[in-house]
A and B are shown apart, each in its own frame.
Chain A
Amino acid sequence: MDWILLAELSANGVFVGLMYALVSLGIVLIYKTSGIANLAQGAVAMTGGYVAWALGARAGLPIWLAVPAALAGMFVFGLLMERLALRRMIGQPIIMTIMLTLGVEIMLRGLLPGIFGASVKRLDIGIPQDPLFLGDLLINRATLIGGSISLALIVLSLLFFNSRFGVVMRAVADDQTASWSVGIRVERAVGVAWGLSAVAATAAGVLWGSNQGVDWSLSLLLIKALAIAILGGLDSIPGVLVAGVIVGVAESLATGVLDPLVGGGSRDVVAAVIILVTLLLKPHGLFGRHHIERV
């Protein structure tokens, strides 16, 4: 086996994994605060990509203005999603909330390509696409920059949890009733978590969109994000970072090593296998708390 190839695949996998991790950051944020697995996260990322593209190409905003505007708009979108749909489901069985997020996923996946057209949209945020050579290693510059931005955003969200509002969110994540009793507005914290997760998804959508173009396939990020969230433990943000790197590297190695053996497409199944193996061996993930009810 060619060691240079393996090193190259791993190095690129790290950055791709970090870009996946940005999507799953939103899943973890929502799960921490409200205990809901948001299956619409991939579609929200896609929506973010479409909104940024529409603001840039359709409304004619310069890209440095369009992306922040999309982030702000999607924050409101996340708030609205929680307020209008998910909050009404409090107290319903978990099947209902999962199905509701799945319903949102389906609808967004139809609505946005329907409105803006199904063809792939080019979203240029000024990341150069030409490859970078580090010694013998060929690094994809777009994923390098994208991964670095994701890393910065995830670290930023870690720091955010030390701020005053972050402490509030941690309290809500820990025990909703207790935080209610000390005067924390739990609904607001949950709403902001949804908003922030939509922002994270949008950032991921924009980064991936600039990489591979904006179309419905951005919503396929969901399964990778879920694999990262499960492997990281569903309620741990450092877990997202580590698991993101693991998933990215595993996927990249599978593409390079397994694909010639099975004839392509092993990229998509790696995430599913990681989910299954994690659930079999260590259901609370690498960094999750041991609170899964086992039957």
Chain B
Amino acid sequence: MFYRRAGIRHTRYQDERQLFPLRFDRGLILVVLALLLAAPFLFDRLYVSGYLLPWLIWTSAALGLNLLMGWAGQIHLGYGAVMGIGAYGSVHLVRFGVPLEIAMIVGGLLSAGIGTVFGAAALRMKGIYLAMATLAMQYVVDFVISHSSAISGGTLATLQVPPVRFLGIPLAGEVPTYYLALAVCFVVTLFMLNVRRTSFGRALAALREKDYAAQILGISTFRYKLLAFWVSSFIGGAVGAVLAVTYLRAISPDQFHIELSIQILAMIIVGGLGSVLGPFFGTALILFAPILLNNLLGFGANAFGVEMPIDLRAHLPLVAYGALVIGFLLYEPLGLAKIYANFRNYLLVWPFRHAQR
């Protein structure tokens, strides 16, 4: 219906290889992009800095993890630690007076380096052993950060982010920070969209499906797994820096604990492993479902006099995460992205359902 394929005939190879062959998709993306660009002027600033900003940052992080888990098929339970390394590295550099642009990249490189060192040990194993090794990495990094006061920043264990400029624009107030997060999210998304079409992305997909077969095809599994770890950790570190500078403003070790890793894992499971669109949906659901639920309960308590015990309300976000992860794994393992794809496929051929491929 909306997604019309009629009249689209490719006469050149470039046309067929383009990211969005359907005109409607292109239009939709432009509309969404325009909305996001105009958001600071359209919506209340509370919504922009409280909802849209974290959504963009967490989505970028989830995209980075999705490269490793969805594309390369390697499990990583310590992504929060990776982000923490990037955040601490770059904030320290910024405090030393290094420009933010460079600090972000160095933070990313630091994460990539440390993440790959831990990964290299685990890369010789797979499956549950990799899961254990990355879980152990999370705990070790947490310990090192919180126990060396040189890193975590003295007795209070919080590190203030000084006022910074990005490309000459001071990052103060919610509008510039929002645009920085949007730009980073845009770059990461563009990278993820295009990585599928490169030899690197195809090698990762081959690796995910069967690593012996990939090896027989001449793909060095060790090299590509290491590369996947490297790239994903780099994105994680850079996004961690953005998170620290734009959203947290003052970082402390407990912000990068295992809870963050689990949150991002839940986002890509709910959104859809191996999809670019998925993390956008998954992040929205995981970030906003608890808030929505809480508001709903508050409303219920007001309207119907149904009072929830305070402990239950406090633990509801965890229950909601867990239930969402379990539910999606059991009923729609490919996540919200698959639900959207089903809907789109239905509309593509509507009303000729039998033509569905």
Given A263-B147, A265-B147, A114 contacting B329 (CB threshold 8 A): no
Whether A226 and B330, one on each chain, are in contact in the complex, defined by CB atoms closer than 8 angstroms, is no
Contact residues, B244-285 vs A (CB, 8 A): 262, 265-266, 269, 273
Which segment, of A50-58, A126-134, A139-147, A275-283, faces chain B? A275-283
Known A37-B132, A110-B322; 15 more pairs at CB < 8 Å = A37-B131, A89-B330, A98-B75, A98-B131, A102-B265, A102-B325, A106-B262, A115-B312, A118-B315, A226-B135, A269-B139, A271-B139, A272-B135, A272-B139, A295-B124
Contact partner of B309 (CB less than 8 A), chosen from A88, A117, A272, is A117
Contact partner of B222 (CB less than 8 A), chosen from A93, A105, A295, is A295
Q: For the complex, is B71 an interface residue (Cβ under 8 Å from A)?
A: no
Contact residues, A90-129 vs B (CB, 8 A): 92-96, 98-100, 102-111, 113-118
Whether B73 and A93, one on each chain, are in contact in the complex, defined by CB atoms closer than 8 angstroms, is yes
Note all chain A residues with C-beta closer than 8 A to B167: none
Whether B273 and A95, one on each chain, are in contact in the complex, defined by CB atoms closer than 8 angstroms, is yes
Note all chain B residues with C-beta closer than 8 A to A114: 309, 311-316, 318-319
Given A110-B317, A117-B311, A275-B132, A105 contacting B322 (CB threshold 8 A): yes
Whether A99 and B135, one on each chain, are in contact in the complex, defined by CB atoms closer than 8 angstroms, is no
- Taking residues whose C-beta sits less than 8 angstroms from the other chain, chain B's interface range is 35 or more
**Which A residues form the contact surface with B (CB < 8 A)?**
31, 37, 39, 85, 88-89, 92-96, 98-100, 102-111, 113-118, 223, 226-227, 230, 262-263, 265-266, 268-269, 271-273, 275-276, 279-280, 283, 292-295
Whether B322 and A104, one on each chain, are in contact in the complex, defined by CB atoms closer than 8 angstroms, is yes
Whether B75 and A106, one on each chain, are in contact in the complex, defined by CB atoms closer than 8 angstroms, is no
Q: For the complex, is B123 an interface residue (Cβ under 8 Å from A)?
A: yes
- Min C-beta distance of B83 to chain A, whole Å: 18
- Min C-beta distance of A274 to chain B, whole Å: 8
Q: For the complex, is B128 an interface residue (Cβ under 8 Å from A)?
A: yes
Q: For the complex, is B321 an interface residue (Cβ under 8 Å from A)?
A: yes
Note all chain B residues with C-beta closer than 8 A to A117: 309, 311
Whether A230 and B311, one on each chain, are in contact in the complex, defined by CB atoms closer than 8 angstroms, is no
The 20 sampled A-B contact pairs (Cβ below 8 Å) are A39-B131, A88-B330, A94-B128, A95-B73, A100-B326, A100-B330, A102-B265, A107-B319, A107-B321, A110-B319, A111-B322, A114-B309, A114-B315, A114-B319, A115-B311, A115-B312, A269-B139, A272-B140, A273-B136, A295-B124
Q: For the complex, is B241 an interface residue (Cβ under 8 Å from A)?
A: no
Whether A107 and B322, one on each chain, are in contact in the complex, defined by CB atoms closer than 8 angstroms, is yes
Whether A295 and B126, one on each chain, are in contact in the complex, defined by CB atoms closer than 8 angstroms, is yes
- Min C-beta distance of A114 to chain B, whole Å: 3
- Min C-beta distance of B50 to chain A, whole Å: 23
Q: For the complex, is B154 an interface residue (Cβ under 8 Å from A)?
A: no
Whether B121 and A279, one on each chain, are in contact in the complex, defined by CB atoms closer than 8 angstroms, is yes
Q: For the complex, is B333 an interface residue (Cβ under 8 Å from A)?
A: yes
Given A92-B333, A103-B329, A295 contacting B211 (CB threshold 8 A): yes
Whether B140 and A269, one on each chain, are in contact in the complex, defined by CB atoms closer than 8 angstroms, is yes
Contact partner of B126 (CB less than 8 A), chosen from A92, A276, A293, is A293
Nearest-CB residue, chain B, relative to A229: B132
Given A93-B73, A102-B265, A113 contacting B333 (CB threshold 8 A): no
Contact partner of A295 (CB less than 8 A), chosen from B123, B131, B315, B317, is B123
- Min C-beta distance of A93 to chain B, whole Å: 7
Q: For the complex, is B122 an interface residue (Cβ under 8 Å from A)?
A: yes
Mostly, the A contact residues are helix
Whether B125 and A103, one on each chain, are in contact in the complex, defined by CB atoms closer than 8 angstroms, is no
Note all chain A residues with C-beta closer than 8 A to B333: 92, 96
Bound CA–CA A226/B129 (angstroms): 10
Note all chain B residues with C-beta closer than 8 A to A96: 329, 333
Q: For the complex, is B221 an interface residue (Cβ under 8 Å from A)?
A: yes
Whether B225 and A295, one on each chain, are in contact in the complex, defined by CB atoms closer than 8 angstroms, is yes
Bound CA–CA A99/B267 (angstroms): 12
Note all chain B residues with C-beta closer than 8 A to A39: 131
Note all chain A residues with C-beta closer than 8 A to B324: 103
- Min C-beta distance of B19 to chain A, whole Å: 27
Whether A268 and B143, one on each chain, are in contact in the complex, defined by CB atoms closer than 8 angstroms, is yes
- Min C-beta distance of A197 to chain B, whole Å: 15
Bound CA–CA A272/B134 (angstroms): 10
Bound CA–CA A272/B140 (angstroms): 6
Note all chain A residues with C-beta closer than 8 A to B75: 94-95, 98
Note all chain A residues with C-beta closer than 8 A to B129: 230, 279, 283, 292
Bound CA–CA A85/B317 (angstroms): 21
- Min C-beta distance of A239 to chain B, whole Å: 15
Whether A103 and B139, one on each chain, are in contact in the complex, defined by CB atoms closer than 8 angstroms, is no
Nearest-CB residue, chain A, relative to B222: A295
Contact residues, B320-352 vs A (CB, 8 A): 320-326, 329-330, 333
Bound CA–CA A100/B330 (angstroms): 8
Question: Which residue of A93, A280, A295 has the most chain B CB atoms within 10 A of its CB atom?
Answer: A295
Given A94-B128, A283-B125, A111 contacting B330 (CB threshold 8 A): no
- Min C-beta distance of B21 to chain A, whole Å: 30
The interface bits of chain B over 294-315 (1 if a CB of A lies within 8 angstroms of the residue's CB, else 0) are 0000000000000001011111
